[in-house]
Amino acid sequence: MEHTWKALLLFIFLCNNGYTHANDCVPREFATGIVCVCNATYCDDTPDSNPRIPENGTLYWYVSSKSGLRLNLSQARFNSCKASSYAPILTVDPSKRYQTIFGFGGAFTDATGINIRNLSQAAQDQIMRTYYGRNGSRYSLGRIPIGGTDFSTRPYTYDDSPGDVSLQYFSLAPEDYNYKIPFIKRAIELNPDVKFVSSAWSAPAWMKINDRINGLFGFLEKRYYGTYVDYLIKFLEEYKKHGIDIWGITTGNEPLNAFVPFDRLNDMGWTPSTVSEWIADYAGPMLENSEFNRTKILILDDQIFEIPLVPELVFRNQKAKHYISGTAVHWYFDRFFPSLLLDDTHNLSPDKFILMTEACTGAGFLNILKVALGSWERAQEYVLSIIEYMNHWGIGWIDWNLVLNKAGGPNWINNNVDAPIIVNPETDEFFKQPMYYALKHFSRFVERGSVRIDLNNNLSNVESTAFVTPSNEVVVVLYNRNNKEEDVVLKDPNNGSVCLKLLPYSINTIIYAQ
C-alpha cells in the first residue's frame, strides 16, 4: 500500500533542510520502505557538472539513509571543528595500498531486457542513463549470460540440435537481439570503457551426460570438451559482430548446482579435476590460438564456501593455472562463512584477482517476500557486502538482474528475486530502490584504476573502506549500522581531521583531494 502523502511530506522536509541538488529523489512510500520514482521525463541524478573537489582542505560528503536521504550532498572542511575527546578516530593511510579496483555493474539477463522494453522508449533510455550514464551510477561492468538462465521465459542454448558437433546450427537467440544486445550497446554508448564478463549456465543438453539443460549430474561429456570451447568462441564471435567485446569468460555459472537434487536451475557441473583438465587442454590453448586470446578465464563462479579449496585444487594443474586470470565468487552464503576465505584465496596466488559476479536479495526459501519495495535492510546487505569484498581483495562487485518487475521476474522456474530497479509499466515508471543507492555510493565515485588504501577503524557499528582514485582523490565509504547517530573523526595525515555526524543507518561517501 502506498502512502503518497507521507512521501510528499518527506520530500518537503528534505527540500526545506537543504538536502537538494539539481535533480532530487521523488519519494514514494510503500509498506516496506521508500523508493525514488522515475519516468520518461524525470529522474533523480548526481550531476556531472558538480566540481569534484573545489579546493584543498574541503571535502564532499554524500549521504543516503534509512530516513530518506538519497546521495544528498554537503561540504565540510578539515580542521574546522573541535572533536570531542571521546569521539572515535578513523585514520586514513594513503601510503598503505592494496588491490586495484576494476569496477561495479549488473547483469543483462533476458528478464532485464523484457522489463525495460515494457516501458516507453524515453523511460527505457532513462534507465540506461541511470545505470551507465555520467550522472547516474557510472557502472563500468556488465555480466552477459551465454544463452538462457532461469531469468528467461524458456530454457534454451545457442545450439539445441542434438549431435551438431560442427555447430552448423549455432545461432544467437531472439532474446539476444530483443533483450540483450540493444541495451548492452546503449551501455557502451554511455560508457565506452565498460567491460563485460560472460557466463554460460549450461552447455547444449546433447553435450551433457544427462541430456538435460538442468538436473542432477549434468556434466559435460569429455568427447565434447573441444566442441564446447568452439561453442563459446562462436558466442564471442557473434557478439563481436555487434560491437560487443567480452573481457572475461567464466568456466560456468554455479557448477555446484549439478550436485543438488531437485534443483531446477539451468546448470552444468564441474569438479576441480575436470575443469582444470578442460582449461589446460582445451579452453586455454583454443582461446589463446584464436582472435580472443586476450579474453580472461575466471574459475568457480560459485559460492564463497568453495574457496580457497577449489582454486587450490585447480591451480595444482600448472598448465591450467597459466591460463586462469582470476576467481569469480557469488555472495549467497557469505553470511555463514568468514571473509577470511577471500584473504586465503588471494594469498594462495596473489597474481590472480577475485571478482564478485552475482548478488541479489529476495533469493531462497527464507525470503518469502521476493520484492520488498523500498527495503533499507536489503540496501544494508548490499553495502556491507561491497565493503567486505573491497576489504578482502575483491576488484569489483556485480549485481544480478539490472531490472525486474514487481513480482521479481520473469523467471521460467519461478525463482523470483529482488533488484535495485523495479518497473511499473502501468504508469510508465520505474522505482529506484535503496539497493540502487547502496551500489551507487561506490560505483559513482570509485572509478576503475582506484586503489584500496588502509583505513584504521576500531568501531563495531561503523563499517568502512577507502580508496585513492587515478585523479588522486581519496574516497572513503562509511556505513553506520546503528539506530542512533555516531560522532566520528576522520583523520588524514596530509589534510588533518574532520568531524562527522553519521545519521542512523546511513551510507556516507566522503571525497577530498589527497
Alpha carbon distances (Å) from 198 to 109, 133, 142, 299, 440: 11, 22, 8, 12, 22
Burial (CB count <10 Å: 0-12, 13-18, 19+), residue 136: buried
424, 36 contact by CB (below 8 A): no
Question: Measured on CA atoms in the order 203, 209, 210, 215, is the torsion positive or negative?
Answer: negative
Question: What is the C-alpha separation between 416 and 340, in angstroms, rounded?
Answer: 31
In angstroms, rounded to a whole number, what is the distance separating the alpha carbons of residues 478 and 215? 43
Q: Per DSSP, what are the bridge partners of residue 488?
A: 500
Could you give the residue ranges of the DSSP H alpha helices within 349-492? 376-391, 434-443
- Assigned C-alpha cell, 496: 588533518
Q: How far is CA 36 from CA 131, 373, 386, 420, 463, in A?
A: 14, 10, 22, 11, 25
501 grid coordinates: 555526524
Vertex 65 angle, CA 402 and 377, to 5°: 60
Please list the active-site residues.
254, 358
What are the cell numbers at 259?
Answer: 550436485
Q: Where are the beta strands (DSSP E) in 194-312?
A: 195-200, 248-250, 296-303
Q: Is 79 helix (H, G, I), strand (E, B) or coil?
A: coil
Joined together, the cell numbers standing for residue 92 give 586514513
* DSSP state letters, 410-452: --TT------SEEEEGGGTEEEE-HHHHHHHHHHTTS-TT-EE
